[in-house]
Amino acid sequence: MNIPRLALLVALTLAVAACSDDKNNPNYGGMGPDGGALPGSDNGDKVGNGNDASGGIPPTRPADGMNPDKADYTTLSSDTVYFDFDKATINGDERTKLVAVSEWFKANPGHALFLAGHADKRGTPEYNRALGERRADAVREYLVGLGISADVLYATSYGSDRPAIDGDTEEAYAKNRRVEIGVVVKQ
Amino acid sequence: MKFSRCTLRSVFTVCVLGSALLPLRAQVDVAAPGLPTVGVSLSGPLGGGATEIVSADLRRTGEMEPVGSSSGQYLATGVAGDSGITAQLVNKRNGQVIFNDTFTGPGRKSAHQFSDEITKAVTGLPGFATSRIAFISKASGSKELYVSDIDGFNVRQITHDNTISASPAFSHSGAKIAYSSYKSGYLDTYLIDVGSGSRTRIAFFPGINSGPAFSPDDSTIALTLSKDGNPEIYTISTSGSIENRITRTRGGETSPSWSPTGDRLVYSSDDHGAPQLYISSSSGVTDMDQLYTGNSYCTKPDWSPDGKSIAFTARVSGQFEIGSFDLASRQGHLVTTDGGEDPSWTRDSRHLVYSKNGRLYILDVVTHKSFPIELSVSSCGEPSVSR
């Protein structure tokens, strides 16, 4: 009597886990490059042999007119999201900022957002580029979860190359581990 | 036989220094010999300068001791002029002329060519005096790509983009450099022909396209792409078409480096917390073989040309140090004690060029001696040595 019930419970739990996993990791696959100018094509992701599926929502790049260098990073500067050392997870306090961002975004139609990830200098340059990208991806996923279309959220990373504050203090490091939110007019 | 000299000195050094480091190379129980001495004396209009260049090159190998012309077990003599160097190497023990050759490389290169020929003849190891370094410098105010000779001369600025250039890698032929840049506004990967300066954007998928590394035959480039939603290692052709996906994790993978046989890649992954080093097949997603280096934070691996070691950057007590992982014993050890990052092997698999506080250094991993490379530009980093 108990055993089938337990089995059912386990099966249900697994099913729910699988569903939520799928929701967070849609299998987009085969994103092509922008501009369409690359020779050859993405021949598709080969199926792994037991490795974890890669997380995240595949990024997009906007039309040429919406370059990250032209984004306005001041309008939502008070909503810059800060991170712990070597982490790309968004802390509870920081999430309220993203709720504010999503409300601003819904109240101001016709815009798109650049999400610029940064790292403090206490990592090697190339590792920091990936870390900044993971932070920007995390913010993008969170905003998607708040109802903003992934198609108008553009993640990018500057690693440790564009610090908010120069210096070797813990305070400077904390201010540099961030994702800045840049506004562009959607074209 | 060829490697025994190096091996012996490794053991010798460790014993003499009483170091806690284990000798990681094969051991041969013979007394360590002294360095071979080479008398260097070039005459002709450019003889004085050429003698200095060759002497410095030979000393840098750590395998030979350059001495005055009248002494030495070997004698390197010749004539240096505008059209190059005609020179010979004699074994003074038996009077045998080992080679007699003309080196026609432009400027200082002819002397470096002579040095590499001497190195090969005396030690059996490939010399690296003719190698160059690609690196990033912020001297102009923005991060630009530069190249120089490995002795620091002939610094040349390659990019003038007023943006961030990053992670250069020399092709094995020395003819091309792959690097990443925000020139488009996004982090894309480009290929530059060093001779002509012509540039092609080869990887510009959505997300980051960074950290390129040439396969041993220069036909394929491994790099980090985040087009799937987080940074993964891929291989692409030099024209930019995807060849293989290498990793599939929820973490970030960066800084791939090829095995000399081209069948494997070593890279950094933070899928299980702080970044660690892993090896995978270069032909598709396979199991990740973790290298337990003994350090909790390891990035930027570089596979040695002889295939035996992987150099990397470790974070130790809040500071970066260079480490080396021996693949035979599967043990890692630190090779610097006062800082360093982004190591790149030279051809002889014995020296590493690395950066520290905006300067480039060259380290002998056998003697643990390190010297700054005197460059005419400051704020340097991310060196890559041509093979």
Residue at A151 is within a domain: yes
User: What pLDDT does A1 receive?
Assistant: 38
Residue at A6 is within a domain: no
User: What pLDDT does B114 receive?
Assistant: 98
% of chain A at pLDDT higher than 70: 71
Any bridge partners for residue B170, and if so which?
A: B177
CATH topology of domain B35-123: Rossmann fold (3.40.50)
User: What pLDDT does B25 receive?
Assistant: 40
* B316: contact with A, CB 8 A cutoff: no
| Cβ distance of A126 and B244 shorter than 8 Å | no
Give the three-class secondary structure for B102: strand
The rounded distance, in Å, linking the Cα atoms of B185 and B160 is 15
Range of the domain at A102: 61-187
B202 contacts in chain A (CB < 8 Å): 38
Note whether B46 and B62 are within 8 A (CB): no
Nearest to B268 by CA among A128, A116, A89, A58: A128
B208 contacts in chain A (CB < 8 Å): 129-130, 133, 156-157
| Cβ distance of B300 and A126 shorter than 8 Å | yes
pLDDT digits 0-9 by tens, B126-174: 999 999 999 999 999 999 999 999 999 999 999 999 999 999 999 999 9
Tokens of A70: 């032209």
Asked whether the domain spanning B133-385 has the same topology as the one spanning B35-123, the reply is no
Nearest CA in chain B to A50: B287
Sorted by sequence, the CB contacts under 8 Å of residue B345 that are 6+ apart come out as B302, B303, B304, B305, B309, B311, B351, B352, B385
Distance between the two ends of chain A, CA-based, in angstroms? 62
The rounded distance, in Å, linking the Cα atoms of B275 and A136 is 18
- Determine how many CB atoms are found less than 10 A away from the CB of residue B23: 17
Tokens of A91: 């802390």
A40 contacts in chain B (CB < 8 Å): 237, 239-242
Residue at A169 is within a domain: yes
Residue at A7 is within a domain: no
Nearest to B241 among A39, A49, A133 (CB): A39
Residue B34 pLDDT class (50, 70, 90 cuts): confident
The rounded distance, in Å, linking the Cα atoms of B110 and B104 is 5
Note whether B188 and A21 are within 8 A (CB): no
pLDDT digits 0-9 by tens, B270-314: 999 999 999 999 999 889 999 999 999 999 999 999 999 999 999
Sorted by sequence, the CB contacts under 8 Å of residue B158 that are 6+ apart come out as B134, B144, B145, B146, B147, B177, B192, B194, B197
The rounded distance, in Å, linking the Cα atoms of A47 and B27 is 44
A38 contacts in chain B (CB < 8 Å): 202-204, 239-241
Note whether B310 and B259 are within 8 A (CB): no
CATH of domain B133-385: 2.120.10.30
Amino acid at B181: S
- What DSSP string runs through A61-103? ---TTS-GGG-B-STTGGG-EE--TT--PPPHHHHHHHHHHHH
The rounded distance, in Å, linking the Cα atoms of B194 and B177 is 7
Query: For an interface test with B, which of A25, A27, A127 has the most B Cβ atoms less than 10 Å from its Cβ?
Result: A127
Tokens of A66: 């919406």
Domain boundaries, chain B: 35-123, 133-385
| Cβ distance of B186 and A126 shorter than 8 Å | no
Residue at A75 is within a domain: yes
Please give the average per-residue pLDDT across A16-26, as a whole number: 35
User: What pLDDT does B68 receive?
Assistant: 80
pTM, entire model: 0.85
In chain B, residues 319-338 whose CB comes closer than 8 Å to chain A: 320
Please give the average per-residue pLDDT across B356-385, as a whole number: 96
State the total domains in chain A: 1
| Cβ distance of A157 and B208 shorter than 8 Å | yes
Nearest to B165 by CA among B148, B184, B150: B184
Answer yes or no: is pLDDT of B260 > 80.
Answer: yes
User: What pLDDT does A6 receive?
Assistant: 43
Note whether B232 and B246 are within 8 A (CB): yes
pLDDT digits 0-9 by tens, A34-83: 333 333 223 333 333 333 356 679 999 998 788 898 899 999 999 999 99
Residue at A127 is within a domain: yes
Domain CATH for A81: 3.30.1330.60
Residue A11 pLDDT class (50, 70, 90 cuts): very low
The rounded distance, in Å, linking the Cα atoms of A115 and A40 is 29
Which of A3-7, A137-141, B150-154, B359-363 comes out lowest in average pLDDT? A3-7
Note whether B335 and B354 are within 8 A (CB): no
The rounded distance, in Å, linking the Cα atoms of B311 and B289 is 16
Whether ipTM tops 0.90, in short, is: no
Note whether A178 and A78 are within 8 A (CB): no
User: What pLDDT does B322 receive?
Assistant: 97
B211 contacts in chain A (CB < 8 Å): 126, 129
